[in-house]
Amino acid sequence: MVWIDVLNRCIFASERHTEPMSESFETLLQKTDFSHADLVTLLSAEGADKTRLFTHSAAIKKLYVGNKVYFRGLVELSNICSKNCFYCGIRAGNSKPERYMVTEDEVLEAARFALENGYGSMVLQSGERCDERFVDTVSGLLHKIKVLSDGKLGITLSMGEQKESTYREWFANGAHRYLIRIETSDRELYYRIHPHDKKHDFDIRIQALNTLREIGYNVGSGVMIGLPFQTLEHLAGDLLFFRQLDVDMVGMGPYIEHEDTPLFEFKDQLWSRKTRFDVSLKMVALLRIIMKDINIAATTAMQAIDKQGREKALKVGANIIMPNLTPVKYREDYLLYEDKPCLDEDASECRNCLEARIHMAGDEIGFNEWGDSKHFARRKP
């Protein structure tokens, strides 16, 4: 209880001598439909206004999704990627990582660990590949995880843009959630952080999200917060994009630079890491307020900046955490960004750490539950 009290003070307590919360901010916060300008104002909140924002989002979370947090046991299946995104440490153009593919036995061992420890679900994540060998490998893994767990483990995939036939094949083999992060919903900014070519096409990425919805997946997306050239106006647009797309789940967090990427050139123009973290918390809070019953992840990048980052995200609206089940020997080669935490923790250590963090945040773990988005259940035909 002492830790929970400390965490509450860290998140909700205003700094001394802050001005009283403005009546206009309170009125704005109670709206049921937010404009772009409204969201920019809310993202700018400081002092007592920020405290009220977080208190309100916490209340919305409790009312609409409760205080259960669901585990998604994460396997970073492969760092082999065909893309050259300017922000990513495993981009095809970076020759430094040793490229790997987790073996089938290692994936199934991770699935067995997840099942035996009450995780309701797994996530298989990898660099973007669409070659036939990779597609067949993933299909085989999906089938074997379902057999091993007798259908008890839910499965999320995060493997980027694929053919519609591939999405359908993976869905038929047992995947039922799919995450494709848009990273920014602003077309101009998108092409400042990606090459402008056929392999990095903004419209194709959005179409992929729509195709996943048509097939029947729980659909997820996400953005980075604090990118070079990014403004609060961009981030307000991202929130509206999630609402317009009617996503079921979101994973987003602060942009953290990586020295072996083209965007590292602009490191001196970035918001401070503290500001990036602070705005990320506001994004989580606002998304919870405007999309009340979706799943929102407390991402690892939050903890990379703040040691209590994931707990703080849970307090203001997140309800998903992804313990890392990737064999430790591969983790240093799956560095999408610098200062990634938990590189040397094995699955048991990671589980114990995250269980403690969840309880510190005042939540409970939804053991042996898929924890699918309530939003998905409500909109599903």
Average pLDDT on 326-350 reads 87
pLDDT band at 3 (very low <50, low <70, confident <90, very high): very low
pLDDT at 18: 46
Residue 16 scores a pLDDT above 50:
no
- Please state, in angstroms and rounded to a whole number, the distance separating the CA atoms of residues 215 and 301: 30
pLDDT in tens, 218-236: 999 999 999 999 999 999 9
Residue indicated by tokens 């072996």: 260
More confident residue, 165 or 5: 165
Residue 13 scores a pLDDT above 50:
no
pLDDT in tens, 147-193: 999 999 999 999 999 999 999 999 999 999 999 999 999 999 999 99
- Please state, in angstroms and rounded to a whole number, the distance separating the CA atoms of residues 99 and 91: 11
Residue 5 scores a pLDDT above 60:
no
Average pLDDT on 340-354 reads 81
Residue 80 scores a pLDDT above 90:
yes
pLDDT at 4: 46
Tokens of 130: 């669409």
Residue 2 scores a pLDDT above 50:
no
- Please state, in angstroms and rounded to a whole number, the distance separating the CA atoms of residues 278 and 296: 17
Residue 256 scores a pLDDT above 80:
yes
For 34-375, CATH number out of 3.40.50.1100, 3.20.20.70, 3.30.1050.10, 1.10.10.10 equals 3.20.20.70
Average pLDDT on 341-367 reads 85
Residue 7 scores a pLDDT above 80:
no
Instruction: Round the average pLDDT of the chain to a whole number and report it.
Output: 93
Are 6 and 363 a contacting pair, CB within 8 Å?
A: no
Residue 15 scores a pLDDT above 50:
no
- Please state, in angstroms and rounded to a whole number, the distance separating the CA atoms of residues 124 and 297: 15
Residue 12 scores a pLDDT above 80:
no
Picking from 375, 378, 371, the residue whose alpha carbon sits closest to that of residue 155 is 371
Average pLDDT on 11-21 reads 47
Domain spans, the chain: 34-375
State whether the Cα torsion 117-118-119-121 is positive or negative: positive
pLDDT band at 52 (very low <50, low <70, confident <90, very high): very high
pLDDT in tens, 207-222: 999 999 999 999 999 9
Residue 9 scores a pLDDT above 60:
no
Are 128 and 90 a contacting pair, CB within 8 Å?
A: no
pLDDT at 21: 53
Residue 63 scores a pLDDT above 80:
yes
More confident residue, 23 or 337: 337
Q: For the chain, give percent helix, strand, coil, nearest 5.
A: 50, 10, 40
Residue indicated by tokens 């206004």: 49
Burial of 98 (0-12, 13-18, 19+ CB in 10 A): exposed
pLDDT in tens, 111-139: 999 999 999 999 999 999 999 999 999 99
Are 217 and 167 a contacting pair, CB within 8 Å?
A: yes
pLDDT in tens, 93-105: 999 999 999 999 9
